[in-house]
Amino acid sequence: MKVLVLNSGSSSLKYKLVDTEARRTLVAGLAERLGRGGRTHADAIAEAVAASAAHRVDAVGHRVVHGGARFVHPTLLDPECVAAIEECVPLAPAHNPHNLAGIRAACAALPGVPQVAVFDTAFHATLPRRARTYAIDGVLAERLGLRRYGFHGTSHAFVAAEAARALGRPLEELRLVTLHLGNGASACAVERGSSTETSMGLTPLEGLVMGSRCGDLDPGLVLRLLREPGASLDSVEELLGSRSGLAGLSGVGNDLRDLEARAAEGHDPSRLAIAVFSHRVRKYIGAYAAVMGGLDAVVFTGGIGQNAVAMRRRILQRLEFLGVVLDEARNAAVRVDEAQRVAEVSAPESRVRVLVVATDEELRIAELTAEVAAGLHRVGADGAVGLAVSRAHVHLDAASLQALFPGRERLTPRAPLSQPGLFLAEERVDVL
């Protein structure tokens, strides 16, 4: 299947047309500087559709950051789902509105093409209660949805599956710690294929040190900051989300390469930032090994995980007691990419294997989208029609439409719906 994957951010849209059988990217692009009176998400999606025009787009897969407690699987989009994603906006006000803008524009640009949402939170739906619960008033937490959701799920799931394949063992037998270390960073305990712990929580602010986010800190510190004269909610949010982490500690910026260069010159704040970052990751590896009662492999991914040789070495220091032995030469030499996705950097005697995996969230979104879309194509020889059932209506794809209304390419509009491109049709199907 050819799946157009859309990742709509606040000011940019990343798109990739993926051939899911060949696991290959056919077209890729990035539209930047959206909004602020300039181009819109709809313009960017028109660009993505035009760039993909040489191919038939079978389905569209949307990255959606927050699916709340409701969306735990890739979901075929209909107006009801879009409204439910809208309800998740308070959980991710910086992300979900832009994801929704992309969904609306794509539905309008490619009517009739199945559109599927894949949620960053979904892989962590398996977090056990003990791991997802904050120790606060339970009634209040329930009412406000205050619990740990976790993010980067698509990446953690993808690299865990790639790691299992490379190790030649079923995921269901393995206890992995996956480390997505990019500008945003999170760790995940993938126990027998399921996420059982992860470092991001209600928001992506919790957990590891990130490019410009603080990660874990004492909630008392936040209260202390709020009591500072002149402090506001917005100023504290900005401090913790945009002026902390590697950038805040070093004063150099959020790019680890710059910090490494300055640290080599003896710049102490950069050295400290690197030490705090690696210490925090190491702490999580130990904690997650304890949580899972053992550890088979550590998996590095993301811009830092895939490329930062010295950082990988630092993180794994002191973990010999767990059975982790790094092969320094391999660690220094590895390169992973779309052609060579997985490389091992542990020594032959290492009880715990250490892998570096090139993540590919778009490929994973495309594969999940293709699975959902393929489910729609089951028009059996006996005349059975594949349906996806929502609360108040059913979905039909083009093949099912042909089976029910032979010779008809489109339905007949009767009245427009509020969602662009959608309408109430004349045609009726009775589901008995």
State the catalytic residues. 120
Q: Please name the residue that has the structure tokens 């391999």.
A: 330
Output the CA–CA distances (angstroms, integers) from residue 243 to 93, 215, 377, 379, 404, in the order listed.
Answer: 19, 12, 49, 54, 57
For 186-206, the DSSP string reads EEEEEETTEEEEES--SSTTS
Residue nearest ligand ADP by beta-carbon distance:
303
> Cβ 306 to ligand ADP, closest distance in Å?
7
Q: Please name the residue that has the structure tokens 């930032």.
A: 273
> Cβ 201 to ligand ADP, closest distance in Å?
18
How far apart are alpha carbons 367 and 5 in whole angstroms?
Answer: 10
Q: Is the CB of 72 or the CB of 310 nearer to ligand ADP?
A: 310
Pair of tokens at residue 229? 């004269």
> Cβ 244 to ligand ADP, closest distance in Å?
14
* Residues linked to residue 419 through DSSP beta bridges, in sequence order: none
* Residues linked to residue 194 through DSSP beta bridges, in sequence order: 191
Q: Is the CB of 257 or the CB of 351 nearer to ligand ADP?
A: 257
Binding site for ligand ADP (CB under 6 A): 182-184, 211, 254-257, 302-304, 307-308
The amino acid that residue 411 corresponds to is L
Q: Do 16 and 28 form a contact (C-beta atoms < 8 A)?
A: yes
Pair of tokens at residue 411? 């339905």
Backbone conformation region of residue 255, classed left if phi is above 0, alpha if psi is from -120 to 50, else beta: beta
Nearest to 199 by CA among 271, 136, 291: 291
The amino acid that residue 332 corresponds to is A
The two most distant CA atoms of the chain are separated, in Å, by 74
For 41-99, the DSSP string reads HHHHHHHHHHHTTTS---EEEEEES--TTT--S-EE--HHHHHHHHHTGGG-TTTHHHH
Q: Please name the residue that has the structure tokens 């989208």.
A: 369
Q: Do 309 and 242 form a contact (C-beta atoms < 8 A)?
A: no
